[in-house]
Amino acid sequence: SAVISQKPSRDICQRGTSLTIQCQVDSQVTMMFWYRQQPGQSLTLIATANQGSEATYESGFVIDKFPISRPNLTFSTLTVSNMSPEDSSIYLCSASTGGGIDTQYFGPGTRLTVL
């Protein structure tokens, strides 16, 4: 298994600003993922982050809005850029060690409120 921590746990931001969320895993993992959970809704995958390559974004998400870094096998960041109230969500980091039957483990989430 993997234990995942995220910082900050929550934040309140002004529109037009940017916030960087950090995700730390307690072991080396091959794949890391970023999800968004809008209020009362399910999880939507934003992008997949692999070490040493560009992140792969899902339909509806772009790098300019959600730049991602993956500098090593235990750490990743997600930046929410030029925020608007519609970006108010919980952002979750997830990690997988890869393999066909592997499990994804989730961090506690970052609750973002944009005013």
Partner 1 sequence: GDSVTQMEGPVTLSEEAFLTINCTYTATGYPSLFWYVQYPGEGLQLLLKATKADDKGSNKGFEATYRKETTSFHLEKGSVQVSDSAVYFCALRDDYKLSFGAGTTVTVRA
Binding site for partner 1 (CB under 8 A): 31, 33, 41-43, 45, 48, 92, 94, 96, 98, 100-101, 103-109
Report the nearest approach of partner 1 to the CB of residue 94 (Å). 8
Report the nearest approach of partner 1 to the CB of residue 51 (Å). 14
List the structure tokens of 73: 């096998």
Give whichever of 80 and 109 is closer to partner 1, judged by the CB atom. Answer: 109
* Contacts (Cβ under 8 Å, ≥6 apart) of 26: 2, 3, 4, 5, 74
What is the C-alpha to C-alpha distance for residues 9 and 69, in angstroms, rounded to an integer? 19
